[in-house]
Each structure stands twice: as structure tokens, then as C-alpha cells.
Structure 1
Amino acid sequence: MATPKSIPLFPAYAELKDFDWRDYEQLDQFFNDQPNWCREHWDWARDYLIFLGRNKSEHTYIRFRSDIEKFLLWSFLIAEKPAVDFRKNDVLDYAEFFFKPPQTWIGLTNVDKFVPTAGMYEFNKSWKPFRYIAEGSDIDKKKYRPSQQSMLAMFSAISGFYTHLMENEIALGNPAVLAKKDCKRLVKDAQVKETKRLDQDQWDLLLTTVEQMADEDALFERNLFLIAAMKTMFLRISELAERDDWIPVMSHFWQDDEKNWWLKIYGKGKKIRDISVPDSFLPYLERYRLWRGLSALPGRQEKQPIVEKIRGAGGMSGRQLARLVHQVLDKTYETMKSQSGEKAAQIFKDVSPHWLRHTGASMEIERGRALKDVSEDLGHSSMATTDTVYVQTSAKKRAESGKSREV
């Protein structure tokens, strides 16, 4: 029996908030052709995803949307069974499907889910739920396998969805929690954890590259400010993005009575924190503000977005900010490739914007700054989190003590 054709279920966050079935006739027709419980599940998932986008971040919305979309498609088209009726074995069956999806559900490029056509949003025929990142010219989809990180993210998203259903008295239990314990595709990891970060030479090249870009074309002043800010103050990209309930504005930079500069940030879990702003960052802040036609340093009443759009009013979304970062990463990759070859440059293809946060925090700890102070700037609720993610002293000691072993 042929595998049913997959379709996208959820548009971008902005479109989902104001969703109107009249704008998505193809999707509406799909649910008209399915049992009533399918549309009901879609409604529950939409409510959960909007909650994530509103209360967490657009990045969290995108990450969870991908996994919940795959899960519901499997429920609708493969299992043909309501997810609220699933037991542990049903979720384990899905985990096997997730680990080895049909090739017709695997794409090679990242494309939009829906395309605007004649005032409507239609399915993008090129879209697939899974994506295989081929190495070079090798595009054999049979080689697709999700990473352990992807498997864990999948269980996290599904478990969160079931928790939402339980809290709203829709589901009676969370089979994803039970399935995760017995999933044979998950490997218990006792490896030395390696923080995803740049080393000093790589960071120096990245910063030099974006400085040169800004010197040659003033439009890249935003890129320079953004990258310097994210690394120096350990920022998540969502923390500089405009959201429904928070707009980062220039007055969030403030100075205390001792002339110390701080940046007020609205972070994960709806927590507001103040991050210390080092003196070394102030020249980048001044340079950026002067380019925007502002005074060198912010005042307490300024309402201009910290990172504003070139066209239109207001701040930028997380996706737009990420695009600015990747412009610089791509340029740095080309520079490194010409200097040291493709193998050395590959790391700049692997880097995500979040690496800048990791890079800054790791370097601060290495130079001897108190773990407690770094932890508070990061916005961690516990120093144990900072210690687990950023401090690898025990691993280094273990490696050092192991060097002298005899064969």
C-alpha cells in the first residue's frame, strides 16, 4: 500500500494567530475529507502552539510546530487513530516511523509550507515533513536518520502537547513519557559534553569579518551590533526580537548610580533580568546608535527598538535577526575557506546564532569570572545549569590524568 501524501498543517506564528479557514481552502478541504476528530486535534494543537509562541518565543513555536505537525500527520494518515487514544506502544510505533520515515516524506531543502496564490494560501508541493541534509552530492534518502538530539526534541514536543491536553482535561495521561523510557532508538549518553561554541581564533575571525562588512557598507552596522551584543551579553536571539508582549527598546540599556551599564531583558519563562554591560561593548553600542542618527548613549525615555527594521516600523522578528547573523557566518565561511581550506571553514556552516551565547559565557568562565555572576547574566535559575552546560573542568582533569596511562 502506498504511503499517503503528506501536507503541511500549520503556517507561521503570525498567520496562525489570525488563522481563517477561508484563506486555506486546500487545508480546509483536507479536513473535510477526514474524520471529525482530525480537525479537533488540529484545533487543540493550534491552541498549544499559539500558547508557545506567545509565552515562550517564536523559535520555540517553530521547533515544536515541526514535531507536533509530524506527529499529527502520522496520527491522521498512517495510524488513522486519535492521538488522545494512544497508549505507550502507539507512541513507540511513531518513534520507529520518526526514525525511518518513508522517502516520499523526506525533502532535501527547507521551503515554505504554504505559498500565496490568488489571495489564498496553498500547499507548497515541494514541502516535506522531514529533511535530509546530504553531504556533498550524496542525496540517497535511504541514509536519512535523525540524530539523538532530534529524537529527544521529538519526545519533548509530544510530551508537552500531551501535558497541555491533560491540563485542559482532554487527555487522561501522557503516553510519550512512558514511551521515551522504552524507546530502543534512544541511547543513554555518558559522553563528555562539548559546548557548541567558537574558540578564540574563530570568534576573532567572525568579529573581524563583520567589522569589515560594516566598514565597507553601513547597512551591516546592524549585523555588527547584533553579533557583538549576543556574544558579549550571552543573549538568546529571541531576547532581542519583537514579541507580542515585549519590545526591546533602547531605554532598556540603563545606568545605575555607580555609572555601571545594564541591559534589561525579557527572557524565557517570562522572567525579566538585568545583564551587566561591559565597558568593551560600549563602543559598539555608540557606533550603532550614531549610525541610526541617535546620541552616543541611550536615555531613560527612548522608545526606539534596539534592532529596528530598515523598511517599515518596529523591531525585527527572531527569524529576521537570525538571517542577519547567518549573513555574517556565510561571509566568514568564505573568508576562512580561502585562508585555511573548506575543512577548517566548515564550522561556520554548522554554527547557529545560539552558539554566540555559548561562546561568550564559556570565555567569561575561562577568564575566571565568578560562576554565580555568569549564571545570573545568562538567566539560569540555578548555577548547576551553568555548571553542567559551560564548565568542563572535570572532563579536562580526567583527560589530563588519563594521558599518562601505560599501554
Structure 2
Amino acid sequence: MNSPTPIFDNFDTLDNPFHQKVFHIASFFGRKEAILAADTDYEFSLKFLYSYIGSSATFSAYRRELERLLQWSWFVRKLPITGLKREDIEAYVKFARNPPAAWIGLKNVARFKQIGGDRKPNPDWRPYVVSINKELVRAGITPTIEQYELSQSALKATFSVLSSFFGYLIQEGVVEANPVALIRQKSKFIQKEQTQKPIRRISNLQWDFLKELAQELAEQNPVKYERSLFILNCLFGMYLRISEVVADERSTPTMGDFQRDMDGNWWFHVTGKGNKNRIVTVSDEMLNALKRYRQFLNLPVLPVSGERTPLVAKTTGRGAVTSTRQIRSLLQELFDQAYEKMVKEGFADDSQDLRSATAHWLRHTGISEDVKIRPREHVRDDAGHASMATTDKYIDSDLRERHASGRRKKL
């Protein structure tokens, strides 16, 4: 089976499809492959995706799922997606769990390349990509096609996105039923967890080493590491996501987002997941971390109303950091050095989680620690959780007590 060609480019290259009158997708088909109503598929897929250009992460997730379905529907099932039934969706899910080798890539690559003045499909792009964790990469293990696996979280995302898309098609009068919603027994695809999965976080000891290391590095080389230390404190101390400290199409976080209320209390105003605005409590220690970073930047010790200084600025050039990858890289360096420091000082057995830690673990760790001592509803609101059930996942005392009661069981 031939390798598919990408269909949808990045959102910033798309023209507004609602201003288009004609949609042609013939370039994706050979003369014998053309699918009746494929132009309609293309039109409404574009319009659906265009509704999500306000969030690059959401747009990318929805584009990925739609592109996979279109590729399968057109070139494997030989049907337009507007003609798919429940049994077709079930067949598609089985396909997605075990796609042919020609559809699987070993790394993420751009869908399109800029060649001259034109955007050209990247021949190395594949709809599915093998993913292996950082520890395996460090061990010198390279990904292979045989390692491809559709995770349970990815499968849930597939059902969620496609159900939303078909719901949109119903509203537009393109289809009469949602074939995804008609799959009654999703349990044969999605496994149910009897117990909640543990929150991925670093230990208190690991955090102590990480924080101490970041402070030492900032003292030794402030130009390189003061910014990294501030980012570390933001993610742990205010539970921020990486996407909430960089500039994107939703917002540009600034120093002016730190604001003092009438009682003299400081809050950080943030636009978070799903374009939802929230305010986050700024603790005394977080305020001290802010002061330290501003002194390094030669700014007044505290922000002023309306200040437009980027929260995290580029070190070369002007403006705010826009790449979450750059933030991950800065923090990964701290994780790696903290791991080495722990091993060197005799804490090898306690250091292992730092080998696989990600930046998001800092948010998890901050929430997990605070939920032990703060009212749950306060932590929920600072974290931006939609419900208390999400916050409750961070309470691990039940697991501790459960294990303590079982440790001395006799065989």
C-alpha cells in the first residue's frame, strides 16, 4: 500500500474556507481512484478545522484525526466520509490500531515544505508515528515500525474528535446520523480502568535537588539560567502549563498579568486550556521569585498595571518566547543535571524518575503538594480544573494507606 500524502497544512497557511465557493480535491486522486463527494468531505473538513484556529494545539489534534480518517475512507474504504456507517467506523478503528507499514513513520515531520514560493507535500510524512519514551532513546534504542501502538488515550481522542466532527456534519445537514455515537460497545476498543493511574510527578527529594541546582546555576551564570529558574518556579508554584507561559494565537503572557487586588494580594491572570481565563494565587515565595527575575532584567521590583514586558522573553531578538519546545529544552537540561547531581551525591536509587520527567510533571507536583495542605476547591480554581473530580486525582493518601496496610501480608 502506498504512503499517503498530507491533506491539511498549518492553520496559518489556510485561507478562510467560508469565503471559498469552490472546493477541489482531485489532485489527491489518480484517475481511477476519484471518490464521489470527496469535494464535500474536503469542504466541511476545512470549515470544521478552521473553527479551531484559535488554539494551535486543538487545531493540530483535530487535523490529525480528520486527516487519518479521510486517508482511510478515500483510499482504503473507497467511500466518502459522509457515507460512512457505524460498521465502517469500527473497521477504521481496527485499521488505526494496526495500520500498514507504509502509513507509519519513525519521527514527526512537517506535513508540507516551503520550496521556492510554494508549499509542497513532504514525502516523509506519515499519518501514524512510532513513539518511544526518553529513557529508551537514551539507552540507544531506536524506534522501529514494529513498535507502533495506538495508546488508550489516543483511541479515546479518536472517538471524541470524530464524534464532534460528525455532530458538526449533522448540524450542517450533510449527514443524518453520527456513526461514532452509534457504536454502543466502545468497551471492546477502550479498556476501563478499575483504579486511577498515579499522577506522574517528581518526589519531594527530587524537587529539592532540582530547585537547589537551578538556583546554583543562576548564581553562576545568570544570563543563561535566571530565566530557566523563573520558568521552573512558575510551573511548580502556580501550576502553569508550558502553553501558558509562551505567546501564541490566544494570548501573550506579560508581566502585567501579575496584578494586585484591593487587599494587597497578588494574582496571576492567565488564558488557559480551552481559552478559559482564570486567576492564580501568587504565594509569597512565588512573589519573591518574580522579584528576583525582574531585578535580573533591570526592571522595577514589581510589575505595574498594564506592563507589556513579556513574561518569558527571548534572549536574542525581541518579544516573547513562542516555542513550547524551547521551554521543554531549557527544563530538560535542568532535569538531566539534577539527575547527575543526585547520582553523584549518593542518591542514585532516588533519582530515576528524573530520567523520564517532563515539564508537565512540575505542574502535577505543585498540585499534588498543595492539595495536601490547602482547601481542595482553592487548588481546583488555581489549577483551572473543570471539576473537583480532576483535583481529587492528585490526592494519593488513599494509595499510601492502602499500601501500608498490605505491606505485611503473609504468604
Same fold (TM over 0.5): yes
Aligned AA for 1:30? F
Distance change >3 Å, CA 86–CA 331, structure 1 → 2: same
**Are 1:233 and 1:276, in contact at CA under 8 Å, matched by a contact in 2?**
yes
CA–CA distance in 1 between the matches of 2:287 and 2:151? 40
Q: Equivalent residue for 2:48?
A: 48
Distance change >3 Å, CA 159–CA 330, structure 1 → 2: farther
Q: Comparing 168-177 with 291-300, which one deviates more in the overlay?
A: 168-177
**Are 2:111 and 2:122, in contact at CA under 8 Å, matched by a contact in 1?**
yes
Q: Equivalent residue for 1:24?
A: none
Q: Deviations over 1:175-214 (max 9, x none)?
A: 2233373453322211342112222222233334444454
CA–CA distance in 1 between the matches of 2:13 and 2:289? 35
Alignment of 1:350-361 (within 5 A): 350-361=356-367
Q: Equivalent residue for 1:96?
A: 94
* Helix, strand or coil at the partner of 1:115: strand
Distance change >3 Å, CA 345–CA 159, structure 1 → 2: farther
Aligned AA for 1:184? K
Q: Equivalent residue for 1:323?
A: 326
Alignment of 1:270-349 (within 5 A): 270-310=275-315, 313-317=318-322, 320-333=323-336, 335-337=338-340, 339-340=342-343, 347-348=353-354
Unaligned runs of at least 5 residues, structure 2 = 18-24
Aligned AA for 1:358? H
Distance change >3 Å, CA 265–CA 331, structure 1 → 2: closer
CA–CA distance in 1 between the matches of 2:218 and 2:305? 28
Given candidates 114, 117, 128, the residue that maps to 1:116 is: 114
Distance change >3 Å, CA 305–CA 77, structure 1 → 2: same
Q: Deviations over 1:84-121 (max 9, x none)?
A: 22122111111111111111111112222212111112
CA–CA distance in 1 between the matches of 2:297 and 2:279? 24
Alignment of 1:15-54 (within 5 A): 15-16=13-14, 29-30=27-28, 34-35=34-35, 37-54=37-54
Q: Which has the higher helix share?
A: 1
CA–CA distance in 1 between the matches of 2:41 and 2:215? 49
Distance change >3 Å, CA 337–CA 69, structure 1 → 2: farther
Alignment of 1:201-216 (within 5 A): 201-215=205-219, 216=221
Unaligned runs of at least 5 residues, structure 1 = 20-26
Q: Equivalent residue for 1:268?
A: 273
Per-residue deviation at 1:349? 5.5
Residue 195 (str. 1) matches residue 199 (str. 2):
yes
* Helix, strand or coil at the partner of 2:320: coil
Per-residue deviation at 1:299? 0.5
Q: Equivalent residue for 1:258?
A: 263
Number of aligned positions between the proteins: 393
**Are 2:201 and 2:361, in contact at CA under 8 Å, matched by a contact in 1?**
yes
**Are 1:336 and 1:344, in contact at CA under 8 Å, matched by a contact in 2?**
no
CA–CA distance in 2 between the matches of 1:107 and 1:325? 23
* Helix, strand or coil at the partner of 1:76: helix
**Are 1:223 and 1:325, in contact at CA under 8 Å, matched by a contact in 2?**
no
CA–CA distance in 2 between the matches of 1:392 and 1:69? 39
**Are 2:250 and 2:271, in contact at CA under 8 Å, matched by a contact in 1?**
no
Q: Equivalent residue for 1:131?
A: 129
CA–CA distance in 2 between the matches of 1:212 and 1:113? 42
CA–CA distance in 2 between the matches of 1:36 and 1:227? 53
Distance change >3 Å, CA 370–CA 330, structure 1 → 2: same
**Are 1:106 and 1:128, in contact at CA under 8 Å, matched by a contact in 2?**
yes
**Are 1:31 and 1:39, in contact at CA under 8 Å, matched by a contact in 2?**
no
CA–CA distance in 1 between the matches of 2:338 and 2:163? 43
Backbone CA RMSD of aligned residues: 2.9
